Structure 1
Amino acid sequence: GTMTLPVPNSINFINAFQNFRNLSDNAMVFSIVVTEFVLYIFLMVLLRKDYKRKWLPKLSLIPPDRMPAPHVYQLTVTTGSMFGAGTTSRVGLQLYGSKGTTPIKMLNPGREALVRGSTLHFIMPVRESLGELTSLHIWHDNSGEGDTSSWFLRTVLVRDVDTDAMYYFICNSWLSETKGDCEVQMAVNASTEVELRSF
């Protein structure tokens, strides 16, 4: 059989443009359309800025200072989900254990973004075991632009790949010059099982 396509309605452009003279009768509708257009432009600019920003991948390698580095730790870093929680400041840390301390390690030396609400994993080879992990010192250099200078750090989970031991560092704090305690660094003790059950 044959298929009949509907004929589109013709548009009278003269009448359409003449109706612009009656905008005062439709001020509410016109203001809503203008507001939505301005909001659209604003979001396009904002999203373009976010798109151009470098983000850290879900899994990154923290290079060892010296080789060989046969002992491996896996770090899982979780950023808060509230507005402004992510950062493009350079983040550094040191882990302390019963047998030693790591050198200073940088998570994002190229100022890649730790995006709000993200959970990122890092592989960190070291020369030897730190023993039982006791504390974490973590900070940033406040070099991020605008609202990305601050950082809300939720948790850092460290897994000793060789022994499968897990260490939890519960932070739930702003590292910021203007928010929370107005500090860009913090020291956190490893949480005990009793403390973990209380969260």
Structure 2
Amino acid sequence: MSSEGCIVGNKSSEKAVECFCNHLSTFASGFLVAPNTIDFAELEVDPTKNPVIFITLSIIAVLYTLLAVWARHADRKDLTRVGCIPMDSNDPLDKYLYEVRVTTGSRSGAGTKSKVCLVVSGEWDETCVRPLNGYGQEILKRGQTDSFLMAVPRPMGPLQYVRVWHDNSGPSEHGSWFLNYIIIVDLQTKIKYPFVANRWLAVEEEDGEIDKVFPVSGDSDLLNFSHLFTERTKKDLADDHLWISIFTRPVCSRFTRLQRVSCCLLLLMLSMITSAMFYEKDETSLTGLQWVLYSQCSAE
């Protein structure tokens, strides 16, 4: 882009541009909004003369401080949930390891405090009953993914199904459980076996069953629109949305809650200063302060 050979005519205004060029190449013109100059030395610093600014900034500072303290505490708590929880039923002599990732749904009342057990079956072998225990940690909460380390004496071959049930012993509001899906990873071969459930294990929901068998999911299950839409929406809100993810951040994310809170504060401050730069008190004046007329010509 070049303005060589072109000048702006005297009849140019905020609605039209008069451009004189000594060549016939392609050219264009347009308008740019000029930011206002903010002179901080001239701003009112007396709270009695301009209390709105001080009240607004004070509220923002207090909210940020409270959120930062909470976020730091939550980040430290999240560190205790990173990694796999060894299953109580593991035999110290068993050396073949599987990682069992259990994801609870995000809908209301999805979490449970009932005792949950499972049995994993493969082509060559199957496990005994494996209870899921958190060793003092809160597991199977709403929208949470819990990882458990399962040890077996030998490989079970390609996994075929997993049987999951609970005893409905939790409190009334935490007795039921909405199981989203289970992913079992063979830690030796790194092969993942997904088991999509997306259903209630509850006596008062759906078919009333709390004991279900889920076969390994194929491509048709994983590429199902409902499953893809739900998982994508959940990830976009829980991890990618800057404001919402402060409270729903996955524990495996490297972007901490405190960092997210600080980024929200920075975004808010930048938005405020940007609004001040492009705000014009005299709306009838479009020359000088608000608009800058420019002409750019490009020779091909």
Length-normalised TM-score, structure 1: 0.68
Instruction: Give the letter for the 2:146 counterpart.
Output: L
Cα offset, 1:181, TM superposition:
1.3
Runs of at least 5 residues in structure 2 that lack an aligned partner in the other structure: 1-45, 49-79, 228-300
Aligned to 1:105: 130
Structure 2 CA distance for aligned equivalents of residues 65 and 121 of structure 1: 15
Q: 1:5 to 1:109 in 2, by over 3 A?
A: closer
Structure 2 CA distance for aligned equivalents of residues 193 and 77 of structure 1: 20
Aligned to 1:156: 182
| Local SS of the residue matching 1:147 | helix
CA shift digits 1:53-102 (9 cap, x unpaired): xxx94531113443311110001111011111000000000000001110
Tell me which of 190, 193, 199 is aligned to 2:219. Answer: 193
Aligned to 1:66: 91
Structure 2 CA distance for aligned equivalents of residues 194 and 161 of structure 1: 25
Check whether the contact 1:90–1:109 (CA below 8 A) recurs between aligned residues: no
Cα offset, 1:109, TM superposition:
7.3
Identity across aligned pairs (percent)? 33
Cα offset, 1:124, TM superposition:
0.8
- Say which structure is richer in strand: 1
Instruction: Give the letter for the 2:147 counterpart.
Output: H
Cα offset, 1:144, TM superposition:
0.1
Aligned to 1:36: none
Determine which structure has more spread, i.e. the larger CA radius of gyration: 2
Length-normalised TM-score, structure 2: 0.46
Structure 2 CA distance for aligned equivalents of residues 122 and 109 of structure 1: 9
Structure 2 CA distance for aligned equivalents of residues 109 and 123 of structure 1: 11
Tell me which of 99, 119, 124 is aligned to 1:94. Answer: 119
Runs of at least 5 residues in structure 1 that lack an aligned partner in the other structure: 7-55
Structure 2 residue 205 is the aligned partner of structure 1 residue 179: yes
| Local SS of the residue matching 1:78 | strand
Of structures 1 and 2, the one with the larger relative CO (CA 8 A, separation 6+) is 2
Aligned residues: 149
Aligned to 2:109: 84
